[in-house]
Structure 1
Amino acid sequence: MANTGQKPRIVVLGAGLGGTIAAFEIKEAVGNKADVTVVNKGDTFHFVPSNPWVTVKWRTREAIEVNLTHIFRRKGIEFFTCGAKAIHPKDNKVTLSTEMELFYDYLVIATGPELAFDEIEGFGPEHFTQSVCHVDHALAASDVFEAFVRDPKPIVVGAVQGASCFGPAYEFALILDTELRKRKVRDKVPMTFVTSEPYVGHLGLDGVGDTKGLLESELRQRHIKWITNARVEKVEAGLVHVEEVNEDGSTKGHHQLPFGFSMMLPAFRGVEAVRGHEGLTNPRGFILVDKHQRNPTYPNIFALGVCVAIAPTGACGCAQDRLHDRVHGHGHRAQLQTNTGGQGPDARSDVECHLSGRLRRWRRGLFCSAADSTAQHQLVGIRQVGASRQGGL
């Protein structure tokens, strides 16, 4: 290991929802038997699921942010806020953006994804569409939305080909509908939901219960039209070019959708710091893991969250299939079990036993299973919007 003769060092890359909680749980589990270090770009935790609410001013930025510096210090966790430039799995080290080299015995990758806006011409907050993937995007979208309400036009909302998290797109469509009704301009705003899913309510999971019927009914009641199996070809100012695809992959038709406001979720890829290592990532840059969330090639590296490569569930739709032949994942948490000295996963150090046992309980207690956690995340926004409509917020 990298720190021979010293306490093992466990480095967690990323301080989002997965990485922050993992660092807390790991430190509680290992105590003084290992050092825990977190590397993140910035010192602030953002509660990403609330970003759509920031866009319509149902929440402020301050309400969904927490500064982590003092929290990590109190818990005895070392914290670097400069971000990682690259990882070197063969050498057990991380190069920070300051060029400092940080050696590790165990590495937990929880970076989240890189947002692939650049894969579609004219797409993303630097061009013609908005985003709720980051609080900065949500705040910028809020300014655009306020201007839009003063001059209402059509709205296009949804998720493009390659997207892997569809729930926020549905949530945002319902949020926009609710807010426009409050502003008394909904009747002036035609809305279209555009998605690469093969059917409404697929959610990247081949449906969860009756999500198809539930979401189709909700969209109909709110007079939101939809296009499925859609591939966004390009975006121009005020116009989205969409190809609709048949089940056999052939082109069914083309649509030119005018808009005054548009938010579409992008495709994801692995962050630059982890890409390009054979055996660690797939071609898309997502981390390859086994059933223990451990990388098969580098057994002291684990991954959790959206950066993990997993096979999609059920049929993903031809619009998705035509984009890429990759796999990617989200909604998973780490079970830190690893091989030591080539003796197999049961021959573990005391530190590894602490890690494994604590995180197994964490996973069972908070998420029950990967599929259930993903389903709950996808559906929570729908329940929240329903509650707001009934005065529940």
Structure 2
Amino acid sequence: MRLTSAVLRDHVRLAIVGGGSGGSAVAAKFSRILGASNVAVIEPKATHYYQPGFTLVGGGLMKLDSLIRSEESVLPQGVNLIRSKLSRFEPENNKLHFEESPPLAYDYLVIATGVELRYDLIKNLPSALETPGVCSIYLPQYAEKTFKEIQSLQKGNALFTFPNTPIKCAGAPQKICYIAEDYWRRNSVRQNIHISYNTSLGAIFGIPKYAASLMKQVESRGIELNTRTNLIEVDPEKKQATFELLNAEAQPTGKTIVKKYDLLHVGPPCSPVPVLREAASANSPLVDGKGWVKVHPKTLQNETFNNVFGIGDCANTPNAKTAAAISSQFRALEANLTSVIAGKQPVSEYDGYASCPLVINHNQAILAEFNGDGPLETLPIDQSKPRYLAYFLKRYFMPALYWQGLVKGYWKGPKVIRKLLHLGFSK
């Protein structure tokens, strides 16, 4: 039986807050271990999106309707789907509180809330997104709008931005820049359009191997790169974007610069969701000072509450926030939560793996795979080179892997495949 509006029972063995990539994977796996009726997923949203596809929708390379499933269809039959909005964590007493339902007690908790897209942190941006020229591939309706804006632009200034906060899929703001440039070039208007990529970071990408390859794209295609530059305000009437200039530590210098735009694509600032920010305000040991779920970076277990784990974008782990990272985190979380349920200690470690297939045109991509130590590549080739194979994997293989593997609790990242392809000499 699925719960759709109210909590009909007061206790479950495992509660999962969030029904996205990580939450769905955990629900699928542990419904098979504990029994579906002993698992509850708290997720008010009725629609589940394959979010890595939004960039391709924005570039006209995928259709939005191919990325959509109902949340009920993604979760295993018999799991308790609770649509009530969570109002407060009470980890000291193993309880969750809701705005319109009685509390739910749990034995074990997995927090998988993702992040909140904070368009509101940029002055005038929420309203500007409804005006011509301003777009963002991070929400479905604006992903579709992005392609319309790209199609309609014939000349002028195209600005692409990357925020001065953590962000989900950090490669996406530059991917859509490359895809747009390729579209304009193939449609013979590129010579009329000035393109700039404006990032708060000090380099085009954080891993030097891939940064070098991406800089070749930037330079050969005439894209202006502005580092340590952060969007803070949009004036849709004047079609102006205001950026603050940052120092080497990404702190504001007090200087700003105003740029005219005909197309403005915004990579939004991101933060923990409100209920986690409120936990931070209450000084809960569940989270750090900003509201990211406080977990051990390798075991994903909360530092204070041993029966609580975090997975995905909401955790304070240092890895890039991508679906690929979630799949590898899931490998560790599954083993560790199973061990803790059995009364033992965590037995597995997340290796920090993340991946970002950097689409650079309509049929090529750079398949960046890495952790904090540098590249961690699956294929026995140089993945920093643009290839059709990488685009094929991104466009056709990875969506199927997501729907049939990750959210069903089977795909745990490419670690085993990587070792096989590297004859056991890779981590």
With structure 1 as the length reference, what TM-score do the two structures score? Answer: 0.76
Q: Write the letter of the residue equivalent to 1:230.
A: T
Q: 1:381 aligns with which of 339, 348, 359?
A: 359
Q: 1:137 & 1:32 partners in 2: Cα distance?
A: 39
Query: Which secondary structure does the structure 2 equivalent of 1:279 belong to?
Result: coil
RMSD: 3.5
Q: 1:7 & 1:154 partners in 2: Cα distance?
A: 56
Q: 1:36 aligns with which of 35, 39, 46?
A: 39
The question of 1:183 aligning with 2:190 is answered no
The question of 1:223 aligning with 2:257 is answered no
Offset at residue 64 of structure 1 (A)? 0.7
* Residues 293 and 336, structure 1, Cα contact 8 Å, conserved in 2: yes
Partner of 2:49: 46
Cα offsets for 1:130-187 (capped at 9, x unmatched): 22222233134344444x43x5321111202114342111211111112222333222
* Residues 135 and 142, structure 2, Cα contact 8 Å, conserved in 1: yes
Q: Write the letter of the residue equivalent to 1:167.
A: G
Q: 2:94 & 2:157 partners in 1: Cα distance?
A: 52
The question of 1:10 aligning with 2:14 is answered yes
1:347-358 alignment runs, 5 A limit: 348-350=340-342
Q: 1:77 aligns with which of 72, 75, 79?
A: 79
- Bigger shift: 328-337 or 84-93? 328-337
Query: Which secondary structure does the structure 1 equivalent of 2:22 belong to?
Result: helix
Q: 1:9 & 1:134 partners in 2: Cα distance?
A: 33
* Residues 196 and 223, structure 2, Cα contact 8 Å, conserved in 1: yes
Offset at residue 210 of structure 1 (A)? 1.2
* Residues 230 and 245, structure 1, Cα contact 8 Å, conserved in 2: yes
Distance 1:384 1:185, change over 3 A: closer
With structure 2 as the length reference, what TM-score do the two structures score? Answer: 0.70
Q: 1:309 & 1:136 partners in 2: Cα distance?
A: 29
Distance 1:279 1:19, change over 3 A: same
Q: 1:45 & 1:256 partners in 2: Cα distance?
A: 38
Partner of 1:324: none
The question of 1:285 aligning with 2:291 is answered yes
Distance 1:126 1:22, change over 3 A: farther
Q: 1:112 aligns with which of 111, 114, 123?
A: 114
Q: Write the letter of the residue equivalent to 2:359.
A: G
* Residues 94 and 101, structure 1, Cα contact 8 Å, conserved in 2: yes
Cα offsets for 1:283-331 (capped at 9, x unmatched): 2211111232111222222111110113579xxxxxxxxxxxxxx9993
Q: 1:57 aligns with which of 60, 65, 90?
A: 60
Offset at residue 126 of structure 1 (A)? 5.1
* Residues 182 and 361, structure 2, Cα contact 8 Å, conserved in 1: no
Q: 2:49 & 2:26 partners in 1: Cα distance?
A: 15
1:84-95 alignment runs, 5 A limit: 84-95=86-97
Distance 1:120 1:385, change over 3 A: farther
1:213-362 alignment runs, 5 A limit: 213-237=212-236, 238-247=239-248, 251=253, 254-277=256-279, 278-290=284-296, 291-311=298-318, 331-332=325-326, 333-334=329-330, 335-336=332-333, 348-350=340-342, 360=348
Cα offsets for 1:360-393 (capped at 9, x unmatched): 5xx87xxxx32x32xx2x2443487525996967
Cα offsets for 1:316-362 (capped at 9, x unmatched): xxxxxxxxxxxx999352544899xxxxx998443x67x967xx5xx
Partner of 1:192: 196
Q: 1:26 & 1:187 partners in 2: Cα distance?
A: 55
Q: 1:292 & 1:189 partners in 2: Cα distance?
A: 48
Distance 1:136 1:300, change over 3 A: farther
Partner of 2:158: 155
Q: 2:138 & 2:219 partners in 1: Cα distance?
A: 26
Cα offsets for 1:52-96 (capped at 9, x unmatched): 12123322221011223144353x322223443333223322234
